[in-house]
Amino acid sequence: MQVVRTIPELRKIVDQWRKDGLRVGLVPTMGGLHSGHLSLVQTVKSISDKTVATIFVNPAQFAPHEDFDTYPRDEKTDSDLLIGEGTDLLFAPDTEVMYPGGSDTTLNVGKIGTLLEGEFRPHFFSGVATIVTKLFMQCLPDVAVFGEKDYQQLCVIRQFSRDLDIPVEIVGCPTLREPDGLAMSSRNRYLSPEQRQIAVSLSRALEIAAAKFSQGIEIEMCEMMAKQELLNAGFDSVDYIAIRDAETLLSLTYASTSARILGAATLGKTRLIDNLSV
Amino acid sequence: MQVVRTIPELRKIVDQWRKDGLRVGLVPTMGGLHSGHLSLVQTVKSISDKTVATIFVNPAQFAPHEDFDTYPRDEKTDSDLLIGEGTDLLFAPDTEVMYPGGSDTTLNVGKIGTLLEGEFRPHFFSGVATIVTKLFMQCLPDVAVFGEKDYQQLCVIRQFSRDLDIPVEIVGCPTLREPDGLAMSSRNRYLSPEQRQIAVSLSRALEIAAAKFSQGIEIEMCEMMAKQELLNAGFDSVDYIAIRDAETLLSLTYASTSARILGAATLGKTRLIDNLSV
């Protein structure tokens, strides 16, 4: 696996692949890799000739009170995991490469970025959209994969890529889960053993709410019961539990063809999110 | 000259050129072509193998009270002029192609978009940046040229292209002028013969102010005198006359390596802008 840290190096290698007629796939991550990320690499490898992974903890998507400083950073471990999957190239820039002095442009993703996570993390999706656009422009992959674990992020990336006509195919991959159902997340490592036991109730509450909704119980009731379950289980607060249109993330309408249930809740200092198809 | 109206058609042709190793240059315009635009085509032809011109009057960069409805639209004349210059491809999409239902993403270009024109046209540069990014993504040219007549626009395009790592080289071209010095503009055709005579005082006032500044007269005095000259000449109002850092468009500092004088003033219903190197 080649490791590059500058945009010209990245472009030189990818340009050559493109000239050779190879299809290039990108897996953008913030490092802290777990099996979920590795499944994204496997997906890219199955649909591309060359696989580029990136690890960069993007300051623009953290608010000052969030966990930017403590977010897991261990390039050696990440790198070994990527080599194990047969990744061709690791792009690991530093902050000065990604945000040189004077950087001032951001993307505004519109309505979809203001909902759900956007209510609690107002600058989050603008930060995500800006860095993902930059990675797309730096690498110009044919395809990029993102996990459904960050479902709203996937919707946002689809939205701005379509709106700006970015010529990159966006592929979503199913969430990987621990045996008890907890969605894999780089932030799970923050959890104490006791919190880890409580954490599983997030996926369980979403499953139960989805089942109730399918049985015809009204949305507000399903959402409220799930919230109460999380608080009973030991979560400190619940930001939202919401059953929404799976594409727009707005309230369901008669035009909705599929639905998604999404939730966010906090356990100590750790904020967890999860979602399921309904 | 091929004329295409959809993004897939555009991409098919440009992709083939790229595969053939040809360098592709783009001239984005809103139509209403004059010799200034044609000089951009000539510049692109001199530095590229294939020339793509676009004409699309972008609704996103007009405010409701501005001249979107009356902006000159004459595809036949524009098309003939482009053929005369040896343009290879005209991309002339309609609004539904450029902004399909649900489009919601915009670029925020930061500080530089809030200055000068940005004070008087608050959404203008976001609209410009969004459409130019879309055109770049649709065509993926190697190089794109823009006139210095819209100097702040050129600075904004350089800024967001650099910030987002868009792999398109940006080239600025000198303003073309009428024999008396009036900068060529699609909006000059709005002027009555009497207004046309008054209009020339914009470039003259900028020239005089630039000369005074070079003689050591302080900036505020140069700007104020130029404003007064325009009002005396018959302009109805002056939005700004400003001598600024030629790159950041902020006030000059000891770090500034070059300066630019920019002005905007209104004559009847027509708002004219111009600028000069100082």
Catalytic residues of A: 37
What percentage of chain A has pLDDT greater than the value 70?
Answer: 100
Structure tokens belonging to residue B149? 């007549």
CATH code for position A162: 3.40.50.620
pLDDT at B17: 98
pLDDT at A205: 98
DSSP-derived letter for residue B166 is: -
Is A181 a member of any domain? Answer: no
Contacts of A163 in chain B (CB under 8 A): 103-105, 134
Q: Which helix (H) or strand (E) holds A198?
A: helix A193-199
Same domain membership, residue B162 and residue B218: no
Tell which of B173, B197, B232 closes a domain. B173
Is A180 a member of any domain? Answer: no
Nearest CA in chain B to A163: B103
Contacts of A109 in chain B (CB under 8 A): 104-105
pLDDT at B112: 97
Nearest CA in chain B to A96: B163
Same domain membership, residue A192 and residue A101: no
Check: pTM over 0.80? Answer yes or no.
yes
Q: In terms of residue numbers, what domain contains A251?
A: 186-277
Is B201 a member of any domain? Answer: yes
Does the beta-carbon distance from B105 to A163 stay under 8 Å?
A: yes
CA-based nearest residue to B261, from B276, B247, B240: B276
Tell which of B105, B155, B156 to mutate to test the A interface (max A CBs under 10 Å): B105
Does the beta-carbon distance from B164 to A133 stay under 8 Å?
A: yes
Q: What is the mean pLDDT of residues B156-173?
A: 98
Contacts of B167 in chain A (CB under 8 A): 11, 137, 140
pLDDT per position as a tens digit, B62-116:
999 999 999 999 999 999 999 999 999 999 999 999 999 999 999 999 999 999 9
Tell which of A104, A114, A245, A247 to mutate to test the B interface (max B CBs under 10 Å): A104
Does the beta-carbon distance from B134 to A110 stay under 8 Å?
A: no
pLDDT at B103: 96
Rounded Cα distance, B25 and A3, in Å: 33
Same domain membership, residue B202 and residue B161: no
What total number of domains does chain A contain?
2
What percentage of chain B has pLDDT greater than the value 70?
Answer: 100
Could you say which of B7, B104, B160 has the minimum Cβ distance to residue A105? B160
pLDDT band at B43 (very low <50, low <70, confident <90, very high): very high
Same domain membership, residue A141 and residue A214: no
Exposed/middle/buried for residue A274 (C-beta within 10 Å: 0-12, 13-18, 19+) = buried
Residues of A near B (CB-CB distance < 8 A)?
A: 7, 11, 103-112, 126, 129-130, 133-134, 137-138, 140, 159-160, 163-167
pLDDT per position as a tens digit, B111-160:
999 999 999 999 999 999 999 999 999 999 999 999 999 999 999 999 99
Does the beta-carbon distance from A163 to B137 stay under 8 Å?
A: no
Contacts of A106 in chain B (CB under 8 A): 107-108, 110
Number of alpha carbons in the 13 Å side-chain half-sphere of residue B107: 31
CA-based nearest residue to A132, from A150, A111, A117, A114: A150
> Are A225 and A79 spatial neighbours (Cβ–Cβ below 8 Å)?
no
pLDDT per position as a tens digit, B219-274:
999 999 999 999 999 999 999 999 999 999 999 999 899 999 999 999 999 999 99
Q: What is the DSSP string of B39-70?
A: HHHHHHHHH-SEEEEEE---GGGS-TTSSTTT
pLDDT band at A168 (very low <50, low <70, confident <90, very high): very high
Calculate how close chain A gets to B112, using CA atoms only, in Å: 9
Catalytic residues of B: 37
CA A124 to chain centre: 11
- For helices B219-233 and B193-214, the axis angle rounded to 10 degrees is 160
pLDDT band at B11 (very low <50, low <70, confident <90, very high): very high
Nearest CA in chain B to A103: B163
Could you say which of A11, A103, A105 has the minimum Cβ distance to residue B108? A105
pLDDT per position as a tens digit, B182-196:
999 999 999 999 999
Residue A170 amino acid letter: I
Is A178 a member of any domain? Answer: no
Strands (E), A63-199: 89-91, 106-108, 143-147, 169-173
Is B255 a member of any domain? Answer: yes
Q: What is the mean pLDDT of residues A44-72?
A: 95
What percentage of chain A has pLDDT greater than the value 90?
Answer: 99
pLDDT per position as a tens digit, A196-240:
999 999 999 999 999 999 999 999 999 999 999 999 999 999 999
Strands (E), chain B: 2-4, 24-29, 50-55, 89-91, 106-108, 143-147, 169-173, 237-245, 259-267, 270-277
Contacts of A167 in chain B (CB under 8 A): 11, 137, 140
Same domain membership, residue A109 and residue A148: yes
Residue B230 amino acid letter: L
Same domain membership, residue B211 and residue B166: no
Provide φ and ψ at A248, rounded to 5°: -90, -20
Could you say which of B103, B165, B167 has the minimum Cβ distance to residue A163? B103
Contacts of A91 in chain B (CB under 8 A): none
Residues of B near A (CB-CB distance < 8 A)?
A: 7, 11, 103-112, 126, 129-130, 133-134, 137-138, 140, 159-160, 163-167
pLDDT at A39: 98
Could you say which of B11, B112, B140 has the minimum Cβ distance to residue A104? B112
- Nearest-5° angle of CA A110, CA A113, CA A118? 140
pLDDT at A245: 97
Rounded Cα distance, A274 and A265, in Å: 9
Provide φ and ψ at B210, rounded to 5°: -60, -40
Tell which of B96, B137, B139, B169 to mutate to test the A interface (max A CBs under 10 Å): B137
Is B78 a member of any domain? Answer: yes
Residue A28 zone, left/alpha/beta (φ > 0; ψ -120 to 50; rest): beta
Number of alpha carbons in the 13 Å side-chain half-sphere of residue A32: 16
Same domain membership, residue B200 and residue B159: no
Contacts of B165 in chain A (CB under 8 A): 7, 134, 137-138
Tell which of A109, A143, A173 closes a domain. A173
Same domain membership, residue A231 and residue A209: yes
Calculate how close chain A gets to B232, using CA atoms only, in Å: 39
Is B181 a member of any domain? Answer: no
Is B178 a member of any domain? Answer: no
Rounded Cα distance, A147 and A127, in Å: 17
Burial A183-215 (b: 16+ CB within 10 A, else e): bbbbbbebbeeebbebbbbbbbbbeebbebbee
